[in-house]
Amino acid sequence: MSALRIGVIGCSSFGARTMLPAIRDTPAAHLAAVASRDRDRAAAFAGRFGCDPVVGYENLLSRDDIDAVYIALPNALHHEMALAALECGKHVLGEKPLTTTVRDTVELARTAAARGLVLRENFGFLHHGQHRRVRSLVAEGRIGPLRHFTSSYCFPPLPEDDVRYRSELGGGALLDLGVYPLRATQFFLGDDLTVVGAVLRRDPVSGVDVSGSFVACSPDGVIATGDFGFEHGFGSRYRLWGGTGQLTVERAFLPPSWYAPTLRVVSQDRVEELTLPAEHQFSASVGAFVAAVDAARAHGHDPGHREWSATVVRTAELVAHIDETAHRI
């Protein structure tokens, strides 16, 4: 099929570092335009990535030469813009979290299904092969029956004017970082999780949560914990602890494209390190999105929508439960 013509809504620094280069360099995709409310910003991004500048998000959605959009806006704006894109007949790849509420997530999922459009959330790490390899090693019994899953994603404080310190725009560590340990827990333990406890640390100046932890469990008795925040030294890792050993992954959520991951398997009498090929997880994410759109075009609907939407709605429910029940300090 012809290349998927993608328009970008929002000129974020994350998009400039990762997603716009990935879209531009994916053969099955064509980076057609980038939109901003600021004319100069749109022109600067368009010149940098070789596409058309568009002033105003609605002007990008009205274009006939755009098949899909990538949304890179503050969290609180994701739902409004994704809904508008779907109603204009555009497929949507939205930054995580897809929305800030369960209700809004359900509405987007239902709208996409009703219109036969692809809607996806850009969790890049889910498209990196190291995690599928870890899951297969656990299934093979390399660490025995799984007992605990622990994960963490933290980094140092941000500049004072960073959007993640603004509650009205969906800021806070839970929505920005806590969703990574949650989604990783779902990846390994399934969606049928119960959150049994959580703590959130609130910043007295901005009012947003800047760090936190949760405890969850699966129906078969595996215990999971997750830590997140932006008041720490950098860390991005998880560990699966089984009856006979442990499996640890460093740089789990945002490995550089050149980085060859090393899986560390520790048992009672030996330590084994498995080095895997480097991968570009955001190129893989774009490729998976394009493939989903191709499948939807061929079938008249998105064949993967039901499974994907069940997981993304469950993530939103777990986030909401943590936010509602957490002990705040």
Over range 59-81, report the average pLDDT. Answer: 97
Q: What is the mean pLDDT of the chain?
A: 97
Report the pLDDT value the prediction gives residue 41, as an integer from 0 to 100.
Answer: 96
Catalytic residue among 30, 96, 128, 142: 96
Task: Kindly list the distances between the CA atom of residue 281 and the CA atoms of 22, 133, 220, in Å, as whole numbers in the listed order.
Answer: 9, 14, 31
Over range 315-328, report the average pLDDT. Answer: 98
234-256 residue pLDDT tens: 999 999 999 999 999 999 999 99
pLDDT category, 2, cuts 50, 70, 90?
confident
State both tokens at 291.
Answer: 């493939």
Question: If phi over 0 gives left and psi between -120 and 50 gives alpha, with beta otherwise, what is residue 229?
Answer: left
Report the pLDDT value the prediction gives residue 126, as an integer from 0 to 100.
Answer: 97
Report the pLDDT value the prediction gives residue 129, as an integer from 0 to 100.
Answer: 98
Q: Is the pLDDT confidence value at 11 over 80?
A: yes
Q: What is the percent of the chain with per-residue pLDDT over 70, rounded to a whole number?
A: 100
pLDDT category, 32, cuts 50, 70, 90?
very high
Q: Which value, in Å, is the radius of gyration of the alpha carbons in the chain?
A: 20
Q: Is the pLDDT confidence value at 1 over 80?
A: no
Q: What is the percent of the chain with per-residue pLDDT over 90, rounded to a whole number?
A: 99
For the question of residue 90 being annotated catalytic, the response is no
Eight-state DSSP code of residue 63: -
For residues 294 and 6, what is the distance between their CA atoms, to the nearest angstrom? 13
| Structural domains of the chain sorted by starting position, each given as residue range(s) with its CATH number in brackets | 4-124+291-303 (3.40.50.720), 129-278 (3.30.360.10)
163-222 residue pLDDT tens: 999 999 999 999 999 999 999 999 999 999 999 999 999 999 999 999 999 999 999 999
Number of neighbours of residue 234 by Cβ within 10 angstroms: 11
